[in-house]
Each structure stands twice: as C-alpha cells, then as structure tokens.
C-alpha cells in the first residue's frame, strides 16, 4: 500500500514519523471508505496520535521501508498568513510594544487606518532615535511555536508550493524569515511593501493603494483584500489542477476562505477571529475546514492533509464522491500515547 520511492532527506524526523503515521491511517480508512457513496464534509479536526511507547524506535529503524515520493505534493499550494500563524504574535504590535511606543500607538489608532498608522509609527520611531538595527533586533526575538518551522520545512521538502499572504509588511517578514533560515522555502510573498528610505527610516505602504482606488471588498481593510490575492493565485494555477491549503487566524483571512473551492482546505486558528466568523455559518465555506490551536496542532493537521491528498492522488480506492469523515482509527485509541522524540 506504500510507495517505494525515497523520502526527502531534509524532512525533520518527527515530521517524517507524523506524516508516515497519517499516510498509514488514511490507507486503512480508505479501505473502509471504499463503498462510500455520500460526500462527507469535515468541519473540524481533533487529531490525536496514538502508538506504542516503543514504536518511535521502530519507526526510526523502519522509515526507509515506508518511503514516499520525493515530489509527491507538487500539486499543493500552501498559503500561510504570517502574524499569529507563522509567528505567534502580531509583528506590528510586537515592534511597537518592545520599543516602548504602545501609548502613542493606542492614542493614534482611532484616527487612521492600521496600515497608515504603522507608517506613522515608523516615522515616530525614527524621530526618537530608533534605528533600523533596533527594529531588526526586536524582530529577531519575536516568539513562535517550536513546531512551526519543522512543519514548514516538511511541507516544502514534500514538494508543496509555499506562499505567504499577510497584512504585515515585506520588511518585517523578510527580516524574520531570513533570521529563522526559512526565507527560501517560500516561492511568493504577498504583503504590504516595506522599505528603508534614504533617510534611514522604514516606510510601510498599502498593498492596494486605497488613496487611488478602492479594491471594492467590504470584508477586508482598505489596504489589502486577501481574497483578491487568492483569486489571482487560483487563476495562475487553474490549468495545473492544484489544491490550496490556507492557514490563517484573523478577520482578514475570512474573505480568502470564501474564495476556496471544494477540493481545497481551510485551516483557521481555533478561537481566533476567522474561526469565529466561519463558525457563524460554516456552509458558506466550500473548502474542508480543519481547525488548529497552536504550532503543534498546525503541524499535525497540515501534514495530515498533505498525507490525505497524497493518498487520494495515488489510491484507486478513493473517488470524487467519497471523502473521508475522519483520519484517525478508533482501534488506535486503546493504545498509549507516543513518547516525545528527541533529535
């Protein structure tokens, strides 16, 4: 039931085991779902992995026998929001707070759009003697969950096309990703332009220049409609039969979720604004919805979906009118939880 080509060697070990387990689970579920005639829709995913305490050592020794294609997932585009998705905080707030300008920020917040406010705050930082180096040092310390980077590396190594759609800015995102050593994993970055001008001041401009013309979307802030970005991405891959996985947390991620198709996947962060908006009426989102709460669950769900697409693509048992309701086996629930792996 398993392919016989080689694993990409640069997938983190824990991610390999996680991906392998999901692939095995989906294979078994596929056999049970063979006669399914009703299209099922997954509106939530509670993913718990169980295995024998010694199974981790078994997998370490046996990974080479359960190999997966090196470019198995070239047909998947994974789109990440940035703030509170890749990093665990809002990068704008992080810089302002860490450099001691929270009070001024809160004072100006009711008077102008967020994007304009951030450009104004960069002017204030510069006028008070804060340098680009000061900003970069703060960005280098931004908090993130330890499983997010392995998840990104694993998805990239499996052949997924990774992209960013964010209402942050290019300077913040580029600085953080380069510091983390993962900039090269992303093929495209869609965000507000940010650059250092001749005075040494950071400028932040709108993705959509609302001073010239409105993007016309009532769901999104005036400077950026993520739904229009997703529509452009969809148009660019329309002839390649690719599938989208979208991860986000904020209210600005709701519009793109409405653009996704039935073959796609939406991964909203649980109990964040986009989750709350979707929960009001999940039926308006055509894509399958799979929630996540932190970086660990993000990794589990993302690799699970990649496994699922892999098995659907390669298995003759799954048809277009039969989707799996769940990716876990009840028989495994009687087994103890896996021990944590150490590199």
Is 161 one of the catalytic residues?
Answer: no
DSSP state of 337: B
Among the listed residues 167, 274, 264, 277, the one whose alpha carbon sits nearest the alpha carbon of residue 225 = 167
Catalytic residue among 83, 92, 253, 264: 83
Strands of 265-268's sheet in order across: 186-192, 161-169, 76-80, 243-248, 265-268, 288-289
Rounded CA-CA distance 289/268 in Å is: 7
Rounded CA-CA distance 82/8 in Å is: 26
Catalytic residue among 81, 90, 161, 264: 81
How many whole angstroms from its chain centre is CA 144?
A: 13
Residue 157 is encoded by which pair of tokens? 């190594």
Strand (E) positions, the chain?
A: 76-80, 161-169, 186-192, 194-196, 202-204, 243-248, 265-268, 288-289
SS3 for 44? coil
Rounded CA-CA distance 290/47 in Å is: 10
Q: What would the DSSP string read from start to end of 300-327? A: HHHHHHHHHHHHHHH-TT--TT---S-S
Q: 260, 254 in Cβ contact below 8 A?
A: no
User: CA gyration radius for the chain?
Assistant: 21
Is 249 one of the catalytic residues?
Answer: no
SS3 for 161? strand
Give 161's strand partners: 77
How many whole angstroms from its chain centre is CA 180?
A: 16
Please identify every residue annotated as catalytic.
81, 83
């Amino acid at each position: 039931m398993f392919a016989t080509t080689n694993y990409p060697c640069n997938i983190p070990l824990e991610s390999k085991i996680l991906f392998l387990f999901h692939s095995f689970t989906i294979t078994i579920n596929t056999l049970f779902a063979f006669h399914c005639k009703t299209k099922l829709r997954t509106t939530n995913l509670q993913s718990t992995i169980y295995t024998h305490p010694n199974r981790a050592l078994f997998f370490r020794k046996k990974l080479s026998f359960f190999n997966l294609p090196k470019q198995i997932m070239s047909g998947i585009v994974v789109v990440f929001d940035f703030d509170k998705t890749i990093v665990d905080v809002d990068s704008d707030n992080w810089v302002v707070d860490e450099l001691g300008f929270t009070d001024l920020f809160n004072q100006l917040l009711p008077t102008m759009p967020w994007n304009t406010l951030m450009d104004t705050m960069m002017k204030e930082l510069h006028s008070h003697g804060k340098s680009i180096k000061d900003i970069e040092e703060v960005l280098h310390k931004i908090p993130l969950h330890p499983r997010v980077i392995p998840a990104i590396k694993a998805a990239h190594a499996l052949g997924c096309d990774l992209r960013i759609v964010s209402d942050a800015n290019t300077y913040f995102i580029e600085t953080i990703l380069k510091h983390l050593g993962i900039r090269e994993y992303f093929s495209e970055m869609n965000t507000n332009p940010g650059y250092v001008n001749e005075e040494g001041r950071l400028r932040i401009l709108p993705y959509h220049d609302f001073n010239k013309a409105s993007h016309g979307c009532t769901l999104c802030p005036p400077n950026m409609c993520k739904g229009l970005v997703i529509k452009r991405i969809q148009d660019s891959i329309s002839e390649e039969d690719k599938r989208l996985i979208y991860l986000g947390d904020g209210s600005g991620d709701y519009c793109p979720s409405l653009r996704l198709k039935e073959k796609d996947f939406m991964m909203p962060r649980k109990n964040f604004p986009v989750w709350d908006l979707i929960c009001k009426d999940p039926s308006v989102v055509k894509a399958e919805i799979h929630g996540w709460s932190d970086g660990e669950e993000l990794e589990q769900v993302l690799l699970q979906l990649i496994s699922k697409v892999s098995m659907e693509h390669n298995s003759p048992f799954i048809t277009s009118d039969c989707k799996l309701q769940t990716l876990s086996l009840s028989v495994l629930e009687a087994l103890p939880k896996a021990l944590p792996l150490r590199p």
